[in-house]
Amino acid sequence: MKKSVVIIIAAVALVVVWAIGVYNGLVSKDEAVQTAWSQVENNYQRRADLIPNLVATVKGYAQHEQQTLEGVMEARGRAMGLSGGNLSEESVSAYGKAQGEVSSALNRLLMVVEKYPDLKANENFLDLQAQLEGTENRIAEARRAFNEVSKEYNKAVRQFPSSVIAGMFGFEKKGYFEAEESAKAAPKVEF
């Protein structure tokens, strides 16, 4: 009788140790996702901080482009009002869409700049444009890193047997950044 009690206690202890290990692994993966998300937000914040300077520089040259300048600032304001929230698929998608609107508005602004050769040669504008380009690269890298750690986390949450522990403790699937619909279509080139 004592031998069977020892075996049962040992089996329960092994299950408990395994569950603790799985739980701690899920917590570590969740923290990695949160850290990656922070980097995404930091890079978007950097871009948002550059926008007023860029708009102010362009405004001095392109007085009659007010609608474009306002569009950039409005898109920035909408994007700043959002955060990833719980990082669900819906909240990450909404955040990505708002940031995509900022990107579109900035692209329109940079197209307007083509009309102003003096502005294109302005040292402040060139510096801001270079910073913005670098920031866009950082954003792309941060989004890629976020998607990678989210994938690892989501695998852990969905695979058996860790899915049992994830379900017991409320670990939920995280969203991914996806390409915008406009990015999926090949650009039309005309000569």
Q: Which residue has the higher pLDDT, 127 or 59?
A: 127
Give DSSP secondary structure letters for 91-120.
HHHHHHHHHHHHHHHHHHHHHHHTT-HHHH
pLDDT digit string, tens, across residues 65-103? 778 888 888 999 888 887 766 788 888 888 988 999 999
Instruction: Sort 114 into a burial class: Cβ within 10 Å, 0-12 / 13-18 / 19+.
Output: exposed
Average pLDDT value for residue range 16-31: 96
Residue 152: which domain range? 2-175
Residue 191 lies in a domain: no
Query: Cβ distance 176 to 147 under 8 Å?
Result: yes
Residue 186 lies in a domain: no
Number of domains the chain contains: 1
Percentage of the residues of the chain whose pLDDT score is greater than 70: 91
Residue 185 lies in a domain: no
pLDDT digit string, tens, across residues 3-17? 999 999 999 999 999
Q: How far does Cα 177 stand from its chain's mean position?
A: 6
Residue 78 lies in a domain: yes
Average pLDDT value for residue range 182-190: 46
CATH number assigned to the domain comprising residue 163: 1.20.1440.20
Residue 180 lies in a domain: no
Residue 137 lies in a domain: yes
Residue 166 lies in a domain: yes
Model pLDDT, residue 184: 47
Residue 182 lies in a domain: no
CA distance linking residue 75 with residue 55, whole number of Å: 13
Model pLDDT, residue 61: 75
Q: Is the pTM of this model over 0.85?
A: no
